[in-house]
Amino acid sequence: MKAIAEKFMNDPALTAEEYAELIRCADDSETVQALTKEAVRLRNIYYGNQVYTRGLIEFTNYCRNDCYYCGIRRGNLHARRYRLSKEEILQCCEDGYALGFRTFVLQGGEDGWFTDKRMADIIRAIRATYPDCAITLSIGERSYESYRLFREAGADRYLLRHETADEEHYGKLHPQSMSLAVRKMCLYDLKLLGYQAGAGFMVGSPGQTVECLGKDLAFLKELQPHMVGIGPFIPHHETRFAKEPAGSVELTLFLLSVIRILLPKVLLPATTALGTLDQEGRIRGLAAGANVVMPNLSPLKNRKQYDLYDNKISMDEEAAEGRAKLAEQVERAGYHLADDRGDAVQ
Ligand code: SAM
């Protein structure tokens, strides 16, 4: 095993440069094996063989932002836009609850129609109907006051990937109107407000270097999020990155293991993007140290419209209605689908 990996396993607090050196070991099979084994050992200590599930409700694909990699960015005039009504969102929750989900993730573009008042009203309705469920939001950047209002209304968790912790790289992926500083501030606000907060990034996004990834890991170490969402970048044909190659599944798996060692108690999903690039991606993600899966609970009629990247999967085990199939799949691999909220251990 490479010396830097040994150092990392003894004490995961490295510098960004050292994390970059660690990531350069991703092609050394002995190092990969050792880190994977350690990641699984740690995951098993805190979460055993329990796999947490979240019902993902993609409730709007309207977005005011223009992130260059994203299929639902404002500038994509060919995107067929939709937004769910409060009643439709509640119907998703009802369906999800009956299927066994105890966490609902409301994800969407940054859609001005969902004002603070409307959002808080929806959150309150879900909270009142499902007091035993966790509510996760993933609706981008809002003010501290908005986040406070949503928290008071009953939201428990918030996913906001930082996308990249390298300023220059951030500038290559986003228009000038967006900034890494604001993104980071939002994450700190969310933590301050008592959310279980989730950061994260795409693996292999255009222009990403090993040094960028080193900074991502250093930022995660500093932020200490409860959740980390990472998945491979996948091109979307209506973006400037249409011809760019997709990120590597192997590197994503390696980084999942590294993140598990970095933050042993973290909630770490095996993401849809991973499952899109590799049929076995979800199970391979769990075998690398992940402990969460997020099947799709959005109405069937809208699923194809939440088109972040090409060929995004949303059926079978990736679909909430495929929960029984998913349960079988994870049981075969030695895990068990948990039937509770699945909070991060303290
Ligand atoms: N608007 C919210 C936000 O910005 O956090 C949530 C929705 S956003 C579409 C969810 C995530 O999708 C982003 O954080 C990004 O990492 C991921 N994503 C977007 N385009 C992608 C692509 N082409 N390949 C892989 N992931 C992508």
Task: Order across the sheet with 336-337: list the strands.
Answer: 292-293, 50-53, 336-337
Domain ranges of the chain: 35-337
What pLDDT does residue 24 have?
A: 97
Q: Which residues contact 98 (CB under 8 A, 6 or more apart)?
A: none
Tokens for 299, please give them. 């109405």
> For the chain, which ranges sit under pLDDT 50?
none
State phi, psi for 53 to the nearest 5 degrees. -115, 150
Q: For residue 293, give the H/E element and its range.
A: strand 292-293
SS3 content of the chain, % helix, strand, coil (to 5): 45, 15, 40
What pLDDT does residue 81 have?
A: 98
What pLDDT does residue 48 have?
A: 97
157 lines ligand 1 (CB under 6 A): no
What pLDDT does residue 164 have?
A: 98
142 lines ligand 1 (CB under 6 A): no
Q: Give one DSSP letter per residue of 250-283, joined into a string.
A: HHHHHHHHHHHHHSTT-B-B--HHHHHH-TTHHH
Q: Which atom of ligand 1 is nearest to the CA of 71?
A: 20
109 lines ligand 1 (CB under 6 A): yes
DSSP state of 26: G
What pLDDT does residue 314 have?
A: 86
What pLDDT does residue 28 have?
A: 96
309 lines ligand 1 (CB under 6 A): yes
CA-nearest residue for atom 12, ligand 1, is: 308
| 3 Cα to the center of ligand 1, angstroms | 35
342 lines ligand 1 (CB under 6 A): no
| 308 Cα to the center of ligand 1, angstroms | 7
What's the rounded Cα separation, in Å, for the pair 58 and 336? 25
What's the rounded Cα separation, in Å, for the pair 86 and 230? 29
What's the rounded Cα separation, in Å, for the pair 231 and 225? 17
Of 26, 96, 44, the closest CA to residue 250 belongs to 26
Of 271, 322, 324, 320, the closest CA to residue 94 belongs to 320
What pLDDT does residue 72 have?
A: 98
Q: Give one DSSP letter per residue of 58-105, joined into a string.
A: EEE---S---TT-TTSTT-TTS---B--HHHHHHHHHHHHHHT--EEE
What pLDDT does residue 241 have?
A: 98
Tokens for 245, please give them. 């190659």
What's the rounded Cα separation, in Å, for the pair 111 and 102? 25
What pLDDT does residue 273 have?
A: 96
| Tokens 């008071």 sit on residue | 152
69 lines ligand 1 (CB under 6 A): yes
What is the pTM for the complete model shown? Answer: 0.98
Give the type of residue at 153: A
Secondary structure (3-state) at 162: coil
Q: Which atom of ligand 1 is nearest to the CA of 308?
A: 20
293 lines ligand 1 (CB under 6 A): no
Q: Class of 35-337 per CATH?
A: alpha beta
Alpha carbon separation from 152 to 49, 116, 146, 149, 242 (Å, rounded):
33, 12, 10, 5, 41
